[in-house]
Structure 1
Amino acid sequence: MKKSALQVLCAVILFFSLVVPVFAKPGDLVYVVPIKGTIDPGLATFVERIYEEAEQAGAARVILEIDTYGGYIDAAIRIKERALASTVPTSSFVTKKAISAGALITLAGEKIFMASGTTIGAAEPRAGEEKADEKVVSMWAQELRATAEAYGRDGNIAAAMADSDIVIPGLKEKGKLLTLTQKQALDLKFADYAALDRAEVLKLSDLSGARIVEVQPGPAEMLARWATSPYVSPVLLTLGIAGLVLEILTIGWGIAGTIGLISMGLYFGGHILAGFTGWEAILLFMVGIILLLVEALVVPGFGFAGVAGIAALVVSIVMSSASMEQAVISLIIALLGTAVLVVASFKFVKTRRVWSRLILGLRQEKSAGYVAPEESLTQFLGAEGITITPLRPAGAIEIAGVRIDVVSEGGFVPRETKVKVVKVEGTRVVVRQSNEG
């Protein structure tokens, strides 16, 4: 009887070991990281932190849930490099789209899962509205190729997503960028699995029983992403510079200066949190402001302090920017915006006298009782003289040893020609050739 019971127990155990699917080991951790919106340095800093946390926790896997139209190339490369270097394996799950920089991040996954109706590709690098130069295109295409080949995928397909000159017979013609649907990616073995949702990704990864850690950016990381956005960053810079300039030129401390300080604090604080720069950029910016204050309030004219101050401001902004291109764009927008705001503000605020040292503001009008001094030349009316320069029609004549600037009544008059003064209007003397009258 005991033997029969033991046999039944063994049969049951064997049945469940063969039929019941394998679940994750107790204690397995899976970190789920959202890759959404613009790929920017703030997101890269966030992802780097999560990988470090996952490694320290001994996680079984990191799943990148991707839905993006792309963003900064350097930020995408940072995320890709961190994923490839991590001791925790990565799975990429395209929930909607993995376009441009999102394609590179997707390729950094050991396994790629794609939901129904999703796409990956169209990764041509851009410089504003224009295609990037050949060097950038080549570099970016090779980044995609190398990342794809790291996990045995077709590098030529990956490169064709960025380089329109690459031809793949039956798939892509020259002059077009490659974008793959879910079905195409699976058929070409560019993606590994179709998955409806995260639960299916976990099931296909033998991690159905894992403990999920769904991470989101913290307040500081969200601030960094917001402040370093290519749309927000120039606005903060404009408000910061314009606010501080207005505070220098207007009487008393007011709203402009407060807005300027807050804007510059958000600008530099966000860029420091994103890992673009350190406190040296803020220090250099403050030095630039101090030098401009010295130039405006202490040193007459515009000299070394003003030039050095402007240079310090420009360098500090370049140091804190994601790239030289972004720095130039932000500076141009900020300077144009500052000029408009400063000029417009002078209609509503009372300025310091320092502004009158920079531009001439005094208007001398007859209605205010101003009368221009006149040199009395009426004594020369009717007198004759000799031209000492050609008159075209303006020039000079000499009368009784006195040089007089005159205007010819009849056009060109050669040098050393006898002329007669026919009209005197203040300092304007009109002459004609003597043989004409």
Structure 2
Amino acid sequence: MWIQSRQLGAVRRCALVVSAGLLTLSLVLSAPAADEAPQTPQTPPRPAAVPAYRQASQVAVLTVHGEIDHVTLHSLERRMAEARRNGANAIVLDIDTPGGRLDATLDICNLLKDPSLTPTNTVAWIHPQAYSAGTIIALACREIVVSPNATFGDAAPIQGIPGLGLTQLQPAERAKVEAPLLAEVVDSARRHHYDENLVQSFVSVGIELWMIENVDTGERVFVDRTEYETVFGEEPADEITSVTPSAPTTAPAPRVRPKVMERIPLGDSADELGLTPEQYRQQIEYQQNRPPRRDPLTRADRGSWRPVMQVITDDRLLTLKPAEALHYGLAVRTISSDAQLLTFFGAQSLRRYDATWSEGLVRLLVSVPVKIILIIVFLLSLFIELAAPGVGVFGATAFVALLVLIGAPYLAGLAQWWDVLLIGLGIVLLAAELFLIPGTGVAGIAGALCLLAGIIGTFISGDLSSEQGMDELWTGVLSTFTALFAAGVGAWVVSRQIHSLPVLDKLILKTEVGARTTGAAGGLLSAMGDPPRTLELGVQGIAITDLRPAGRAEIDGRIVDVQSVGSYIEKGRPVRVTSVGRYVIEVEESHS
């Protein structure tokens, strides 16, 4: 029994060995070939964590395309309010602009920095360019993102006058114009932790900056020539090194410590500064949110820093591409699509708010070329209506042209009360000269001057004591006198060629009617040509319309346009010719 048990154990061990071998063989045969990659489940990449201050559920994209002007300002105000009503808690300005007006730019910056009108979560998307005013607006936003081919910078103020092009500003004038811009970009730098000297180099020529890096911490700062020589004990190399980012453009910007000015000391109470309690609270909050002041580097810092590159020379303005903007800490991300914007904010929805067609129309109507055309149309139509009264088409055309000339600037926020007042006063005085007190010329001259000053005023939207106001004044003067010259030429052509223009000929009534009609156009146009017969002084006739003071009378067998030199003359009363001029026939009531 013992022997049989040993034999049975041996058999069992052999069976176990054989089973293990078969199992191993089956595993080897079922294994994948060496050149086949193992099939492992792919987990979709996790989206990058979004900072709490940037997170939003609804993103509103407001396009800022084309020239920056007051139409842009009012459009942004309207769209900003609409986006907030619709629940947007993040605003993106999609900027693509060559620049624009200084006053409108500063007003837009104030809009962006007013928490009661604009969400604090506001980002500028330079897509693809933001020169001049576009750069100033982008800096006013809390963060800046750029498209892959973006360019921004070159924000120095320039002066341009129609017909003369760009003109050189004198040093004193340039300093006066640059002052509000520098104050604005410095304020933006303090709010959003940019280097003050760096942002000022967008606006002013003459700033030299170098980037240096701490050899221990990797921290980077911007220094001018004086600070550079203090730290390194030698003059810097005058060359700008191109920026080649070592990381993808979606990586966080390098740590740059900005240089800011001293904090503005606050008094112990709001009364000391003449502020309301709310204004004083806002000042304290603003000071607390400013970045810490960077103390100037000294000789004691030698050996702790190494030069990285020169950022800007003193003979140019700072202009940046995406890699440079990220490298200098001005931009935080490269964004190429709306989908990436959603990821940037960690948002669920995105909606675009574009400018309306009416806002584009208003922008066209307030442009200088269109204003010149409107002035020409107004003057020429008014001349034709007064010279050769017809069915009222030209009078209506003159009224519409004047209405658009005044109304378009009003809709764009450019109208001043005094230019509308002068235009209205000028029209009243001209009407008084024609219908109430003819012949004196005083009211007519005063009315013409008021009308002229009012038309020039439609070009002015700012303070005349400012540089921009003076530029607008010269633009208005040149444009208005250009329109006057063109309208004068047009009036001369119309007066000479009225009979060869079939459309005009049908819209104008004839001076003579009935069997006595000669076919000559009436009114001033008839007087400007050679009349069929010359009226003699003292010849009498009958007023066939009321003369208030202008009207019509039948004199010497003809019906002509006349003007009373005295009081109102009723229809049917006898009249006598007192004066025959090239443009007007004057009569008085005959009592004989």
TM, length-normalised to structure 2: 0.52
Give, in angstroms, the shift of residue 245 of structure 1.
4.2
Residues 95 and 115, structure 1, Cα contact 8 Å, conserved in 2 = yes
Residues 239 and 338, structure 1, Cα contact 8 Å, conserved in 2 = no
Matches within 5 A, 1:79-90: 79-86=108-115, 87-88=118-119, 89-90=121-122
What is the aligned length?
343
Residues 426 and 446, structure 2, Cα contact 8 Å, conserved in 1 = no
Residues 220 and 273, structure 1, Cα contact 8 Å, conserved in 2 = no
Cα separation, partners in 2 of 1:26 and 1:104, compared to 1, 3 Å? closer
Give, in angstroms, the shift of residue 68 of structure 1.
0.6
Per the alignment, residue 162 of structure 1 pairs with 203
Per the alignment, residue 385 of structure 2 pairs with 247
Kindly provide the amino acid, as one letter, of the partner of residue 326 in structure 1.
E
Per the alignment, residue 377 of structure 1 pairs with none
Give, in whole Å, the separation in 2 of the partners of 1:167 and 1:305.
61
Give, in whole Å, the separation in 1 of the partners of 2:490 and 2:478.
18
Give, in angstroms, the shift of residue 116 of structure 1.
1.2
Kindly provide the amino acid, as one letter, of the partner of residue 183 in structure 2.
Q
Give, in whole Å, the separation in 2 of the partners of 1:35 and 1:332.
30
Residues 41 and 322, structure 1, Cα contact 8 Å, conserved in 2 = no
Residue 235 of structure 1 pairs with residue 396 of structure 2: no
Kindly provide the amino acid, as one letter, of the partner of residue 322 in structure 1.
S
Give, in whole Å, the separation in 1 of the partners of 2:48 and 2:380.
64
1:145-168 superposed Cα distances (whole Å, 9 cap, x missing partner): 322332111222222222123333
Residues 418 and 454, structure 2, Cα contact 8 Å, conserved in 1 = no
Residues 62 and 91, structure 1, Cα contact 8 Å, conserved in 2 = yes
Give, in whole Å, the separation in 2 of the partners of 1:182 and 1:230.
35
1:222-256 superposed Cα distances (whole Å, 9 cap, x missing partner): 33222223443333334334433443344435554
Per the alignment, residue 319 of structure 2 pairs with 179
Give, in angstroms, the shift of residue 198 of structure 1.
2.4
Kindly provide the amino acid, as one letter, of the partner of residue 167 in structure 2.
E
1:125-159 superposed Cα distances (whole Å, 9 cap, x missing partner): 11211244220123223322322332111222222
Give, in whole Å, the separation in 1 of the partners of 2:403 and 2:180.
35
Residues 103 and 123, structure 1, Cα contact 8 Å, conserved in 2 = yes
Equivalent position to 1:40, from 65, 69, 75? 69
Q: State which structure, 1 or 2, has the greater radius of gyration over its C-alpha atoms.
A: 2
SS in structure 1 at match of 2:200: helix
Give, in whole Å, the separation in 1 of the partners of 2:150 and 2:320.
9
Per the alignment, residue 276 of structure 1 pairs with 414
Kindly provide the amino acid, as one letter, of the partner of residue 162 in structure 1.
V
Cα separation, partners in 2 of 1:233 and 1:154, compared to 1, 3 Å? farther
SS in structure 2 at match of 1:232: helix
Residues 116 and 195, structure 1, Cα contact 8 Å, conserved in 2 = yes
Give, in whole Å, the separation in 1 of the partners of 2:368 and 2:69.
9
Give, in angstroms, the shift of residue 319 of structure 1.
5.9
Give, in whole Å, the separation in 2 of the partners of 1:352 and 1:335.
26
Per the alignment, residue 98 of structure 1 pairs with 130
SS in structure 2 at match of 1:98: strand
Give, in angstroms, the shift of residue 178 of structure 1.
1.7
1:318-374 superposed Cα distances (whole Å, 9 cap, x missing partner): 267334333441342122222222233323335744997xxxx799xxxxxxxxxxx
SS in structure 1 at match of 2:312: coil
Gaps of 5+ in 2: 1-42, 161-165, 211-309, 463-468, 496-520, 531-592
Residues 140 and 185, structure 2, Cα contact 8 Å, conserved in 1 = no
Cα separation, partners in 2 of 1:195 and 1:69, compared to 1, 3 Å? same
SS in structure 1 at match of 2:414: coil
Give, in whole Å, the separation in 1 of the partners of 2:434 and 2:472.
29
Gaps of 5+ in 1: 1-15, 364-437
Cα separation, partners in 2 of 1:97 and 1:44, compared to 1, 3 Å? same
Residues 240 and 264, structure 1, Cα contact 8 Å, conserved in 2 = yes
Give, in angstroms, the shift of residue 268 of structure 1.
2.1
